């Protein structure tokens, strides 16, 4: 008798585990606090996301999505993964992704995007004293980028360029410091963080001098989930109206 109950309980547990292990976690119940939103990121992109001193993901995007979750009634659970696997993980391993991700037509084939929340541009990191200054100077150069990023897409179009793609942008910067690449193309704010970190070795060049287009960061969402998109967009609007958004920009980006 007892054994049977235990077996039934275990079977139920297995079912629960299986349910939470796959499918959209946005629909899973996390008890009294409401629903869980599993958010993918790549915590190697300061100041938007990085691993904090406590070993947990932190940064502007992390704070923003937590504030959105609070407004929209979700318990936010962050999952750190490779940037290159974020888009394909939406709807299976994760519900949404926030990762300083630029809205692109290509990505829109697979995912939807929230309203944009930040404008950026690619910058160019060069060793101090480099003669790279304009778009033409990038031709035929060894260029370091982060794998699967808009920086890589831009570099791939440069004539004669030899592109090295790294899982983390900082690995590209390390190879710049080692002399293995001539420059690194990476988003403006991380470029500034790396520039400050290695201020004795590298210079940060403004991407507009290379005719790079402005880019918009947005939260990547499951395709066609307009209910979730509406919730996230309304929360974002409220956070902009009530000053939370600005205070996060001050705290994480401008400080």
Q: Can you give the binding site for ligand ARG, defined by CB under 6 A? A: 42, 44-45, 49, 83, 99-102, 146, 149-150, 187, 215
| DSSP at 85 | G
Q: If you search the block for the tokens 């980006």, which residue do you land on?
A: 253
Angle, CA of 227, 233 and 238, to the nearest 5°: 130
CB of 185 to ligand ARG, least distance (A): 10
**Cβ-based neighbour number of residue 31 at 10 Å:** 7
CB of 208 to ligand ARG, least distance (A): 16
Nearer to ligand ARG, 115 or 238 (CB): 115
Nearer to ligand ARG, 128 or 223 (CB): 223
Burial of 142 (0-12, 13-18, 19+ CB in 10 A): middle
CB of 45 to ligand ARG, least distance (A): 3
Nearer to ligand ARG, 35 or 107 (CB): 107
**Cβ-based neighbour number of residue 130 at 10 Å:** 17
Do residues 166 and 84 lie in contact, with contact meaning Cβ atoms separated by under 8 Å? no
CB of 207 to ligand ARG, least distance (A): 12
Nearer to ligand ARG, 107 or 238 (CB): 107
SS3 call for 204: strand
């Amino acid at each position: 008798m007892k054994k049977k109950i235990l077996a039934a309980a275990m079977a139920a547990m297995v079912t629960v585990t299986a349910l939470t292990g796959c499918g959209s976690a946005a629909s899973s119940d996390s008890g009294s606090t409401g629903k869980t939103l599993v958010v993918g990121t790549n915590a190697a992109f300061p100041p938007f996301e990085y691993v904090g001193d406590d070993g947990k993901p932190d940064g502007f995007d992390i704070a923003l999505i937590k504030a959105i979750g609070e407004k929209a009634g979700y318990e936010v659970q962050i999952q750190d993964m490779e940037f290159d696997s974020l888009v394909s993980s939406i709807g299976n391993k994760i519900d949404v992704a926030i990762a300083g991700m630029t809205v692109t037509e290509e990505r829109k084939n697979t995912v939807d995007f929230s309203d944009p929340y930040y404008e950026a541009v690619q910058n160019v990191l060069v060793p101090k004293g480099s003669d790279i200054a304009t778009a033409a100077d990038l031709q035929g150069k060894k260029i370091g980028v982060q794998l699967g990023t808009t920086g890589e897409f831009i570099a791939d179009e440069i004539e004669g360029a030899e592109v090295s793609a790294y899982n983390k942008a900082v690995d590209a910067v390390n190879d710049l410091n080692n002399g293995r690449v001539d420059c690194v193309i990476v988003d403006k704010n991380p470029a500034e963080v790396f520039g400050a970190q290695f201020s004795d070795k590298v210079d940060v060049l403004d991407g507009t001098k290379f005719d790079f287009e402005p880019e918009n960061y947005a939260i990547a969402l499951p395709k066609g989930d307009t209910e979730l998109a509406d919730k996230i967009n309304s929360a974002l609007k409220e956070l902009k109206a009530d000053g939370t958004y600005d205070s996060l920009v001050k705290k994480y980006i401008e400080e």
